[in-house]
Structure 1
């Protein structure tokens, strides 16, 4: 079984909802997914990252980039970077913001560069939704290919639109396929 760590920071629960959806999709694909809130990491969490086959990075987009709490996690990995302990692990990113564009691409780009600095191999989005594929209305609504991009919903019982959660589920399945393929 492959091990996937899902690192995230969630300010109001939206990013956690995406992390939970990804973990559920990965579990259905026989992958062991470990959720790691970067604001409360313990030594076992750092060990899980080192032992994982893939690491997913998730943060809300605040003011055009990843939330400061997630950026602090990124900065805390400098010793890991120096030793290239994550080199050749697979990586992917996900983010959520209030507006459909919401500068989420900037957050995904920062996550991607972070992964590249660690020598990781990035997994992007592969879902083509409507208007190109009319059979998939609402899938990958923002047309983001660098990772999973979702939009918040004002209904606090829902947090993220069901279409974005469906896209997250599909993204999780893609990640599972890639990890199984590359973790031989």
Structure 2
């Protein structure tokens, strides 16, 4: 199972989480502001966890950082999440928005927990001309999206498609990881 814990200040990150879950198929989306005991149990049982938070002032939102601190206390020293797959996603209002630093925060957390990171692998334009808008931020460390800054939508449809494809990638990596665990 894949769990997708996220914090969403204005709804953008929640949309990305749902798009990743759509691509993954069997995924549990968890709003860290409303986390319940059964969500904690699902996180502990998950094979893969994709962390999501908006980028605020060059890093992940403080409310998401609070969640990471809640995770690490009881799980870091026991290695409870060691060898789980991990991934991450973020969104900001600017095309750069220092989103790379937010992803570095997430990958560092995952490394400290002993997790195995799965980056984003979709290639779009200008490299592959018939894929305009796919991975338009050019991020491979994790998934990045940009606020659409449009009154009728929060995110560009192709950012959501890139998120869905990231979910497909995470699901494939999870299946391979689970198959290898029995070998």
TM bin, normalised by shorter chain, reads over 0.9
Cα shift at 1:156: 4.8
Cα shift at 1:128: 1.2
1:61 to 45, 55, 59: 55
- In the alignment, structure 1 residue 79 sits paired with structure 2 residue 74: yes
TM-score by length of 1: 0.94
- In the alignment, structure 1 residue 36 sits paired with structure 2 residue 30: yes
SS in 2 for 1:183: helix
| Farther off after superposition, 46-55 or 34-43 | 34-43
1:1-184 matches, cutoff 5 A: 3-27=1-25, 32-77=26-71, 78-184=73-179
The answer to whether the Cα contact below 8 Å between 2:24 and 2:169 also exists between their aligned partners in 1 is no
Distance 2:152 2:14 in 1: 13
TM-score by length of 2: 0.95
Residues 37-68 of structure 1, C-alpha deviations (whole Å, 9 max, x = no match): 11121211110001111001000000000001
Distance 1:104 1:88 in 2: 25
Taking only aligned residues, the RMSD between alpha carbons, in angstroms, comes to 0.9
Q: Any unmatched runs of 5+ in structure 1?
A: none
SS in 2 for 1:113: helix
Residues 112-131 of structure 1, C-alpha deviations (whole Å, 9 max, x = no match): 00000110000001111110
Distance 1:161 1:175 in 2: 21
Q: Any unmatched runs of 5+ in structure 2?
A: none
Length, aligned pairs only: 178
